[in-house]
């Protein structure tokens, strides 16, 4: 495009705001929000407005680099793409042949876009069970708990609006700003805003009630709320009787978690716990906007399970103004077998996945980062010879950076795909320059907000940067895996859009596909679980060897509660 405006979707974070790119003489000169986009409605955050700054940042890597000095010494030689990809492919083939596919590990960051799923597809096709990410402390605990409990990921119906909104462990004013806008509108319309967060932010300052529990004790607090709601008969009796399983077991389980006893653990006064439970249960409809604060606790999955149960027994799941299901536009799902190819790894190879002896849910296929780091250093249970890192800076984001540095230095061959020379990239043997969201086409399906699928369109290209798709396609071709990636990125996007019977070329004109809310009446009060009901007591978890009801792992605190 020489002059004019291009509709796209900001890709700096995961929430999928519509953006307009303005061109003069073929060069993007301005970014602004798309007023026609249903999520952000013309607004962008500071990061979105700064898109051009990092697109043209002078410190961007714009050519493939090969290390020529000692690792970490900072001496590099620019090389062509063919040479860089050939070196990587040769090492992968060598290590796979000698040590098995599990000796090649993959670490990805959190672009939250299709590029994450491209790496998953590549790793599964290559045959390595050792692909890891930050998912275990970001979103997946809440998603997995939701699917186990009632079969979908519920989203607050803020536009109805709710009468009560609890923001739990989420700084949405800085991280989900268009959700924050909708929340503020709900408060202006009379919703009571309650925040549970040990920290402070704009949302806590605007709330009518703020609870600051001792970090990691959120699960105890929720169990005490459940105790109050059940003991005082504040639960939705009709819904519980007809549409849940395991209520009797739940009631017996939470009987030990009295507000008085839990108060000592959480630092929240007992009368405040009681008041919170009553407001949430009685001032309906009520909605809970949760966030990564839940995922960052040791009991993240079970804490999320407890919130799902709280939503359900009060009858706040699937009602206008509560937490509701959304139908997504028809797409090939990124996590599906058809796209991720996780069935390409035989069970005996999958069983070699590095988990450091930790039991994982059988429907989760990623390795644990901390276990992978340990294996890189010790070679136990087997050596990790090559590591491919995409859009992740473990030296900055993983715990114990000295140990991470030791691990990255221990592998024979390290490749990093990134936009800048991060501390992690500085330890690599090959650094690949990756494109920003303004430099490739894609489809954005934000997981945290309304069910909206948006267009992302290539506006320009800087230097020799390539998209993650193009990079992984080039590697796949050299590894005898040419058939796992489509000849072009656009053909891949055509495949993803195929259930909607449109091509990506047609999507350029459409720009946005919207899903819709599904209230309980719309689905006849059925739930996509094995029982067709909300499973308070999970027999699936029990059969897999996990607690069927949310239970804290802090044994001393639990024992103190039960013995009191």
Question: Which residues share a beta bridge with 65?
Answer: 78, 431
The stretch 212-224 carries a mean pLDDT of: 96
Residue 290 has phi, psi (to 5 degrees) of -100, 170
Residue 299 CB contacts under 8 Å (≥ 6 apart), including other chains: 216, 218, 219, 550, 552, 553, 554
- Distance, CA of 513 to CA of 328 (rounded, Å): 9
State residue 380's pLDDT score: 94
105-159 pLDDT per residue, tens: 999 998 778 999 999 999 999 999 999 988 888 888 999 999 999 999 999 999 9
pLDDT tens-place string over residues 270-302: 999 999 999 999 999 999 999 999 999 999 999
Mean residue pLDDT across the chain: 93
Asked, colleague to colleague, whether 65-134+340-435+465-488 and 160-313+529-563 share their fold, the answer is: no
Residue 557 pLDDT level (bands cut at 50, 70, 90) = very low
- Residue 174, pLDDT > 80, answer yes
For the question of whether the overall pTM of this predicted structure is more than 0.75, the answer is yes
More confident residue, 104 or 175: 104
Query: If you count them, how many residues does the chain have?
Result: 564
pLDDT at residue 560 is higher than 60:
no
List the chain domain ranges. Answer: 4-55, 65-134+340-435+465-488, 160-313+529-563
**Percent residues over pLDDT 90 in the chain:** 85
Cβ neighbours, 10 Å, residue 530:
12
Distance CA 487, CA 540 (A): 41
- CATH 3.40.50.10490 assigned to 160-313+529-563: no
Question: For 231-235, what is the mean pLDDT?
Answer: 98
CATH architecture of 65-134+340-435+465-488: 3-Layer(aba) Sandwich (3.40)
pLDDT at position 362: 82
Reference 454, options 500, 525, 507, 390; nearest CA is 507
Residue 561's pLDDT is: 43
331 closest CA partner among 201, 507, 191? 507
Given a contact cutoff of 8 angstroms between Cβ atoms, the answer to whether 519 and 319 are in contact is yes
- pLDDT for 337 equals 92
Q: What is the DSSP letter of 41?
A: T
233: left (phi over 0), alpha (psi -120 to 50) or beta: left
Phi, psi of 535 (to 5 degrees): -100, 90
Q: Is it the case that residue 559 has pLDDT exceeding 60?
A: no
pLDDT, tens only, 61-109 = 999 999 998 998 999 999 999 999 999 999 999 999 999 999 999 999 9
Cβ neighbourhood burial of 537 (10 Å; 0-12, 13-18, 19+): middle
**Which overall architecture, per CATH, does domain 4-55 show?**
2-Layer Sandwich (3.30)
pLDDT > 80? residue 186? yes
Tell whether the model's pLDDT for residue 545 goes beyond 70. Answer: yes
Tokens of 200: 């402070």
**pLDDT-based confidence at 375, cuts 50/70/90?**
very high
Residue 416 contacts residue 389 (beta carbons within 8 Å): yes
pLDDT classification of 170: cutoffs 50, 70, 90:
very high
Beta strands in 413-536 (DSSP E): 413-418, 430-433, 442-445, 452-456, 512-514, 516-518, 534-535
Mean pLDDT of 397-401: 93
- Which pLDDT tens digit goes with each residue over 241-257? 999 999 999 999 999 99
Mean pLDDT over 452-468 rounds to: 97
Q: Are strands 452-456 and 442-445 parallel, antiparallel or unpaired?
A: antiparallel
């Amino acid at each position: 495009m020489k002059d004019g405006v291009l509709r796209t979707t900001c890709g700096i974070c995961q929430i999928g705001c519509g953006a307009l790119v303005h061109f003069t003489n073929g060069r993007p000169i301005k970014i602004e929000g798309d007023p026609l986009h249903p999520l952000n409605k013309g607004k962008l955050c500071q990061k979105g407005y700064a898109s051009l700054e990092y697109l043209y940042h002078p410190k961007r890597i714009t050519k493939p680099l090969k290390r020529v000095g000692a690792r970490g010494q900072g001496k590099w030689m620019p090389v062509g793409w063919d040479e860089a990809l050939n070196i990587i492919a040769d090492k992968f083939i060598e290590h796979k042949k000698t040590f098995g596919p599990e000796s090649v590990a993959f670490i990805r960051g959190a672009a939250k876009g299709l590029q994450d799923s491209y790496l998953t597809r590549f790793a599964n096709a290559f045959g390595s069970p050792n692909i890891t990410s930050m998912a275990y402390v970001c979103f997946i605990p809440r998603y997995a708990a939701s699917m186990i409990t009632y079969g979908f990921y519920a989203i607050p119906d803020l536009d109805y609006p709710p009468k009560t909104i609890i923001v739990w462990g989420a700084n949405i004013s800085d991280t989900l700003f268009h959700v924050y806008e909708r929340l503020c509108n709900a408060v202006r319309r009379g919703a009571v805003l309650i925040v549970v967060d040990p920290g402070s932010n704009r949302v806590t300052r605007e709330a009518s009630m703020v609870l600051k529990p001792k970090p990691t004790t959120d699960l105890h607090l929720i169990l005490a709320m459940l105790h109050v709601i059940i003991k005082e008969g504040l639960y939705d009796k009709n819904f519980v009787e007809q549409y849940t399983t395991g209520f009797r077991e739940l009631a017996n389980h939470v009987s030990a978690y009295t507000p008085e006893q839990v108060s000592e653990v959480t630092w929240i006064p007992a009368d405040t716990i009681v008041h919170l439970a009553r407001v949430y249960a009685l001032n309906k409809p009520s909605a809970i906007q949760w966030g990564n604060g839940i995922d960052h606790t040791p009991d993240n999955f079970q804490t999320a399970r407890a919130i799902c149960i709280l939503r359900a027994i009060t009858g706040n799941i699937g009602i206008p103004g509560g937490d509701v299901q959304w139908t997504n536009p028809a797409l090939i799902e990124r996590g599906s077998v058809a796209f991720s190819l996780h069935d390409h790894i035989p069970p005996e190879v999958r069983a070699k996945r590095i988990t450091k002896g930790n039991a994982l849910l059988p429907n989760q296929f990623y390795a644990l980062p901390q276990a992978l780091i340990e294996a890189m250093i010790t070679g136990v249970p087997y050596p990790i010879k090559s590591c491919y890192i995409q859009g992740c800076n473990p030296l900055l984001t993983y715990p114990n950076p000295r140990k991470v540095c030791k691990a990255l230095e221990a592998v024979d061959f390290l490749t990093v795909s990134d936009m800048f020379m991060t501390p992690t990239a500085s330890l690599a043997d090959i650094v690949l320059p990756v494109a920003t969201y303004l430099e490739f086409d894609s489809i954005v399906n934000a997981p945290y907000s309304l069910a909206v699928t948006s267009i992302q369109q290539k506006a320009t290209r800087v230097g020799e940067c390539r998209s993650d798709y193009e990079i992984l396609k080039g590697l796949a071709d050299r590894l005898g895996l040419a058939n796992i990636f489509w000849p072009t990125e656009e053909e891949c996007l055509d495949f993803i859009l195929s259930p909607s019977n449109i091509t990506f070329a047609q999507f350029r004109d459409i720009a946005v596909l919207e899903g819709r809310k599904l209230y309980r009446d719309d689905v006849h009060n059925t739930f996509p679980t094995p029982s067709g009901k909300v499973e308070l007591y999970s027999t699936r978890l029990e059969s897999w060897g996990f607690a069927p009801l949310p239970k804290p792992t802090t044994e001393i605190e639990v024992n103190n509660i039960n013995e009191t």
